[in-house]
Amino acid sequence: MKRQNFPEVIATRRAEGAALDYWLSLLSGDTVRVQFLLGDPQGHIHPNSVFDTSDVEEWKNYRYNTKALRIWSLTYEEEFTCPLFVTASRGYADCLQLLLREGANVDFAPGGETALHGACENAHTECAKILLRYGANPNAGSQDGAHPLHCCKTPQSFQCAKLLLQYGAHVNCPTEDEEDTPLHVASRLGLWEHVDLFLRYGASVNKRDMKGETPLCAACSAPQSCEALESHFLVCQRLIQAGSDIHARDQDQQNPLHLACKSANPRVVELLLAQGAQVNAMSYSGNTAMQNILQVTAYRLANQPELIVRALLNHGAIRVWPGALIKVLRYCCASPRTVEVLLNTYSHVRVTDEWSEAVPRDVQQKHPDFFQSVFSLREAPRSLQHLCRCCLRSHLEGKLPQLLPHLPLPPKLLGFLQLDFEGVLY
């Protein structure tokens, strides 16, 4: 390690032993032991010590090698940490307060992040409160330009975010690398309470990051498990209420609808369509929203991609070219409902022997009635009922969502016209 021109702590064996004792006490939050070590004049321990953790292998064996722990009074290096950061990031409020009373620098950041960053990242509200009361800078930048507000990345960190704003944190501060605002971060993570908080403090709803994404784009593009669908929907709903541009495009010319289809969030897609999203807009690569959802259907089965395909078709999405239907069948057969809703927009489908070959045998066995009904279309025309549906949908093309609710039809027939799932084709 290259040494700087700063005073080195005396490296006696006793000092090394005290250093290890100090480190272990900090890790366990042993306030009594830390206080004793800080008061021991022979231990050369102080609240602004810096712990060198650059050699991971040595640290694994620190119990048997006291030289693995070296304490230096150095300037910033990314491999280092300090007592204040250790205690704040672990939630040891009493120990943290002791270090601050003993003169620890509240904004000391030898590892690139202040203790306030650590407290917020780990959602330790009491520690964040103590640090702010001792004058911690709520707008301190880390080595990658992130502020403590960017570190509030879990639902549990809401109170930390609220405290930071109350102490003057800048709600629109961007990171240096990605130019993400806290609203971008919270939107991407589906933290709807954070989003609401930031908007109430004046967050810019249409500010763009390095990729040209607005917070709404960020919320729509984030990978979403089934458990995260609802929270991302609430985020998008709040952003739109606050005036987010649903037609905004990123650097790849993808709008929120493109991105929501990629992440396969049905409720967000329906929300965007209800707000007037352009269903057939193309991205820079030439993809429409329909192409995006069909490309990910096989990987997002749990998210019910068929709901998205149906919503797009009911809002006037251009149908798949008939010659490409076998390709769609091949890649989307694991989602029979997706295949069903697509095929139910055609009055005639040219089924060949290749269709049965395109669907793996195990998938056919899992959904025998449906695929038998698909393959039987080769020998029989579609039913009159279905042909009537196609005729009416063609007549109302592009206006279905607006006009159908006003037609004096029973709910079951309305559902039929809007491509409700039946499990078979006829």
For residue 41, give every residue at least 6 positions away whose Cβ sits within 8 Å of its Cβ, in sequence order, or none. none
Q: Fold identical between 1-139 and 171-318?
A: yes
- How far is Cα 151 from Cα 137, in angstroms, rounded to an integer? 14
The token pair that represents 87 in the structure block: 């205690």
pLDDT at 68 exceeding the cut of 50: no
Q: What is the pLDDT of residues 298-352, one digit of tens each?
A: 999 999 999 999 999 999 999 999 999 999 999 999 999 999 999 999 999 999 9
Question: What residues does each domain of the chain span?
Answer: 1-139, 171-318, 335-426
| 53 CB burial (10 A radius; 0-12, 13-18, 19+) | middle
pLDDT number for residue 66 = 38
Look at residue 305 in the predicted model and tell me its pLDDT.
97
Query: How many CA atoms lie within 13 Å of 22's alpha carbon, on the beta-carbon side?
Result: 29
Alpha-carbon distance values, 12 to 17, 19, 26, 95, 150 (Å): 9, 10, 21, 26, 41
pLDDT category, 101, cuts 50, 70, 90? Answer: very high
Give the predicted TM-score (pTM) of the model: 0.87
21 pLDDT band (50/70/90 cuts)? confident
Architecture (CATH level 2) of domain 171-318: Alpha Horseshoe (1.25)
Query: Cβ–Cβ contacts within 10 Å for residue 426, how many?
Result: 13
Say whether pLDDT at 1 is over 90.
no
What residues contact residue 379 under an 8 Å CB cut-off, 6+ apart?
none
Highest-confidence range of 50-59, 109-118, 199-208, by mean pLDDT?
199-208
Tens digit of each residue's pLDDT (9 = 90 or more) over 109-145: 988 899 999 999 999 999 999 999 999 999 999 988 8
Residue at token pair 């672990």: 90
Q: State both tokens at 9.
A: 């702590």
Average pLDDT, integer, range 31-54: 80
* Mean per-residue pLDDT over the chain, rounded: 89
CATH of 1-139, one of 3.30.300.30, 1.25.40.20, 1.10.1660.10, 1.10.3720.10: 1.25.40.20
Summarize the confidence of residues 402-413 as an average pLDDT.
87
Confidence of residue 14 (pLDDT cuts 50, 70, 90): low
**Residues 151, 130: Cα–Cα separation, whole Å:** 17
- Rounded to a whole number of angstroms, the CA Rg of the chain reads 30
CA distance linking residue 122 with residue 92, whole number of Å: 12
Q: How does pLDDT run across 252-304, given as a tens digit for each residue?
A: 999 999 999 999 999 999 999 999 999 999 999 999 999 999 999 999 999 99
What pLDDT, on a 0 to 100 scale, did the predictor assign at position 334?
96
Burial of 422 (0-12, 13-18, 19+ CB in 10 A): middle
Nearest to 196 by CA among 243, 238, 149, 229: 238
The pLDDT of residue 15 is 55
pLDDT > 50? residue 77: no
* pLDDT of 216 higher than 80: yes
* Phi/psi at 140 (5° precision): -65, 135
Q: Quick one: average pLDDT of 421-425?
A: 95
How many CB atoms are closer than 10 A to CB 374? 24
At residue 7, does pLDDT exceed 50? no
> Picking from 34-38, 112-116, 274-278, 383-387, which range would have the lowest pLDDT averaged per residue?
34-38
- In sequence order, the β-bridge partners of residue 52 are 80
Residue 98 binned pLDDT confidence (cut-offs 50, 70, 90) = very high
Burial class of residue 66 in the structure, from the number of CB atoms within 10 Å of its CB (0-12 exposed, 13-18 middle, 19+ buried): middle
Edge-first strand order for the sheet with 80-81 is 71-72, 50-52, 80-81
Tokens (6 digits) for 416: 């039929």
